[in-house]
Amino acid sequence: MRLRRGEFERIRSILEETDPDQPMTAREILEILDEHGEEFDSAHRVATVLGRQAQSGEIEVIRDQPYRYRFLEENN
């Protein structure tokens, strides 16, 4: 399964609009995406996309149960 850059961009753009004030689980993120008309197969797919993006430093993965995800601010 190959990560498509568009999936991450879709997630990021919706979450930037909603501006969550705390880290969210993949299921919570999936619910927000659904509310905004973005279709993802599952919370697992959301977690996969965000987990892979964490390797580049754009996402912080908080390894509690369940995992939570936070977008890191860009330092411009």
The model's pLDDT over 14-66, given as tens digits with 9 standing for 90+, comes to 999 988 889 999 999 999 999 999 999 999 999 999 999 998 889 999 998 99
User: Average pLDDT of the chain?
Assistant: 89
Q: Which residues of 10-43 are buried (b: 16+ CB within 10 A; e: fewer)?
A: bbbebbeeeeeeebbbbebbbebbeeeeeebeeb
Query: Residue 42's pLDDT is what?
Result: 96
CATH number of 5-71: 1.10.10
Query: Residue 76's pLDDT is what?
Result: 38
Q: What are the sequence ranges of the domains in the chain?
A: 5-71
Query: Residue 3's pLDDT is what?
Result: 54
